[in-house]
Amino acid sequence: MLLFLVRLLAALPLSWLQSTGRLLGAIVYRFPGRYRRRLQANARQAGYADPAFARRAAAESGAMILEIPKVWWRTPHCLALTHSDQETVVREALAEGRGVLYLTPHLGCFEITARHLTQHGPLTVMFRPSRSALLDPIVESARDMHNLRAVPANRHGVREFVRALKRGEAVGMLPDQVPREGDGVWLPFFGRPALTMTLAARLALQTGVAVILTAGERLPGGRGWRIHYLRLPEPLPAAPESLAAAINQAMETLIRRFPEQYLWSYNRYKEPDGAPPLPDESAPASRGRA
């Protein structure tokens, strides 16, 4: 039944889905609570203290959620609404024949970004299993797409990433996800220490691939998406921690291109169990779930 309802949503016009999502996002934001406090605090940390900015960011989060069914089950239609004026960045990187590591933060529509990238060739992406068994059939159905392969976020998935990169293919992952089991280092993100994964940096250094940050900007009026690219300059820093810091800085640059579409409500500064101690000069991070 849930799968049927999601597919029904996918049949609705994109403009309606995004507009309704913005309305729902604005309504949810009106209620006091942890969600609103975290969104405000994270946006303020990045320099966006205007209350109107936080309201617009909440609205864009709603648009992001409701557009997902359309992207998953009306992919050809959505790809026809997707464009970029920076495709030479990708073509030049792929022409080097050494593989590409795409890093897509929680910015804009990251679901359309992955699907757009498959037009350049095979793409392997890493996922974390959903927390609800009810969502499994939906997610499994959505992953079924030509040139797009999903692997779990575990050692097996990492091995598959390495194999794909050594074949000269592309892989994609979310670089601003808080790593689990203490697998990360505290590095600045918008001026505050955030537990940052080193997996992306270690993969890049191990395989010698090109590193490109990318995100899909949501255009107004249901007109689709614009794909942005930002390639890290080479030579890359030789130490994983230094490269991870450079990735954080590049993410900040990309986010500032259309900041209202970043998922500011994500608990980016939390301190998960098993994390290394925070630097002494840092503000306390929040514990608990994302």
Nearest-Å Rg of the Cα atoms of the chain is 18
Residue 147 Rama label (left phi>0; alpha psi -120 to 50; beta): left
Q: Is the pTM of this model over 0.85?
A: yes
pLDDT of residue 248: 98
Neighbouring-strand partners of residue 29: none
Numbers of helices and strands, H then E, in the chain: 11, 9
pLDDT of residue 274: 81
CA–CA distance from 165 to each of 32, 69, 117 (Å)?
A: 45, 30, 15
pLDDT of residue 183: 78
Could you tell me if 234 and 90 are in contact, meaning their C-beta atoms sit under 8 angstroms apart?
Answer: no
Determine the 3-state secondary structure of 278 from DSSP.
Answer: coil
Between CA 36 and CA 142 the distance in angstroms is 30
Encoded tokens for 286: 């929040």
Between CA 197 and CA 189 the distance in angstroms is 12
pLDDT of residue 7: 83
Between CA 273 and CA 50 the distance in angstroms is 33
Four-point Cα dihedral 227, 183, 233, 161, nearest 10? -60
What is the phi/psi pair of residue 20, to 5°?
A: -65, -40
pLDDT of residue 290: 47
pLDDT of residue 275: 84
pLDDT per residue rounded down to tens, the chain (290 residues): 666 788 889 999 999 999 999 999 999 999 999 999 999 999 999 999 999 999 999 999 999 999 999 999 999 999 999 999 999 999 999 999 999 999 999 999 999 999 999 999 999 998 776 666 556 666 666 666 889 998 888 889 999 999 999 999 999 999 999 987 667 999 999 999 999 999 999 999 999 999 999 999 999 999 999 999 999 999 999 999 999 999 999 999 999 999 999 999 999 999 888 888 888 754 555 555 44
Q: Tally Cβ neighbours within 10 Å of residue 167.
A: 11
Between CA 146 and CA 115 the distance in angstroms is 9
pLDDT of residue 117: 96
With 0-12 CB in 10 A as exposed, 13-18 as middle and 19+ as buried, what is 145? middle
Between CA 74 and CA 201 the distance in angstroms is 34
